[in-house]
Amino acid sequence: MTSLRVLVLRALGLGDLLAGVPALRALRRGFPDHEIVLAAPAGLAPVAEATGAVDRLLPASAPGRAVPRTLDWSGPPPDVAVDLHGNGPPSHRLLQALRPARLFAFAHPGTPEIEGPPWHRDEHERDRWCRLLAFYDVDADPADLRLPRPHTPSPAPGAVVLHPGAGAPARCWPVERYAAVASALRGRGLRVVATGGAGEDDLVARLAKEARLPDTDVFSGGLPFHRLSALVAGARAVVSGDTGVAHLAAAHAVPSVTLFGPVPPSHWGPPPHPRHIALWHGPEGDPHARRPDPALLRITPGEVLDALHRLPAPEEPAP
């Protein structure tokens, strides 16, 4: 195994990792003789493997979107350390403590010794990290985000997937509105399934009860990634808030309707394509609020149903 190593810090969630795929693939191409090590939560190891850009996952996490306190790094310092996690001293110092030969990071007054590019608040997440790498002469393509189709068969092929949960209450569209969408779709003869991550069982159960979904169409408890990926890849469409499942739909080129608020789609939305519709009324709000954002509440079930009607049919999987 090569002794040359690139350490990438992105110790965040599923959607964050998927938004970072273009940057990870750029590093894979830019450092073909290096081992690419990703510092991220252990549960994302299957996702990292699916990108084809990561050789090894180094388990690292912290509550919320905080920076991990330490990294369990062993051996010589990294040849390159890349901060894809944040834009300030906490993540910079964490990587600097490993004494990498080179550190790729955004500039910040708190770490003036780092001569990186400036951070732009109003920038799409995929573009942001690709711009960081371009500053260091690593070519990156923000559109390089597709994942290979999973080998696991879908547990509900052709279904419309509704995912009512999100990482914060501010981004959770009311469950009764999801139920109204589900009931209307089932009235048209479509199969509808509900999914939820860890800790979202009550939310999924409420949706299933109000929409009268059979037990076979309820996937709660946080599906293992290979099953969730297969479910999304084989879906007719995916409806969710601004959360990881929306990014997974984009990664599999599956038609999607994503409900935005308080964060605009210009920051975290799907790539521009007719198969992805982002609903957003604005203005921006507090992403950490404990209740659904007012901008999100402006989206009606009728709008979601209309958007679903306008979506193209899913792509046929490649042989």
What are 219-257's pLDDT values in tens digits?
988 899 999 999 999 999 999 999 999 999 999 999 999
Greatest CA separation found in the chain? 61
Query: How much of the chain exceeds pLDDT 90, in percent?
Result: 94
> Angle 125-135/21-30 helices, nearest 10 degrees?
20
> How many whole angstroms separate alpha carbon 230 and alpha carbon 227?
5
Tally DSSP H helices, then E strands, for the chain.
12, 11
> How many whole angstroms separate alpha carbon 289 and alpha carbon 156?
34
- Using a 10 angstrom Cβ sphere, with 0-12 exposed, 13-18 middle and 19 or more buried, the burial of residue 316 is exposed
Element containing residue 259 per DSSP (H, E):
strand 256-259
Type of residue at 257 = V
> How many whole angstroms separate alpha carbon 49 and alpha carbon 304?
33
If you write DSSP's letter for every residue of 266-277 in order, what string do you get?
HHHPPPSSTTEE
- Mean pLDDT (the chain) is 96
> Are the C-beta atoms of residues 47 and 244 closer than 8 Å to each other?
no
Rounded mean pLDDT, 52-58: 98
Give the list of residues 6+ apart from residue 192 with CB closer than 8 angstroms, or none: 159, 160, 162, 182, 185, 186, 211, 213, 217
Two tokens at 304?
A: 């979601």
Q: What is residue 318's predicted lDDT score, i.e. its pLDDT?
A: 47
Rounded mean pLDDT, 118-124: 96
Residue 214 has pLDDT above 90, yes or no: yes
Q: Angle at CA 86, nearest 5°, toward 110 and 200?
A: 140
The string of pLDDT tens digits covering residues 287-307 is 989 999 999 999 999 999 999
> How many whole angstroms separate alpha carbon 79 and alpha carbon 63?
28
> Angle 244-251/225-233 helices, nearest 10 degrees?
60
> Are the C-beta atoms of residues 245 and 163 closer than 8 Å to each other?
yes
Rounded mean pLDDT, 152-179: 96
> Angle 301-310/175-187 helices, nearest 10 degrees?
50
Q: What is residue 64's predicted lDDT score, i.e. its pLDDT?
A: 86
> How many whole angstroms separate alpha carbon 218 and alpha carbon 126?
32
The string of pLDDT tens digits covering residues 58-107 is 999 999 899 999 999 999 999 999 999 999 999 999 999 999 999 999 99
> Are the C-beta atoms of residues 48 and 11 closer than 8 Å to each other?
no
Type of residue at 309 = H
Classify residue 303 as left (phi > 0), alpha (psi -120 to 50) or beta.
alpha
pTM of the model: 0.95
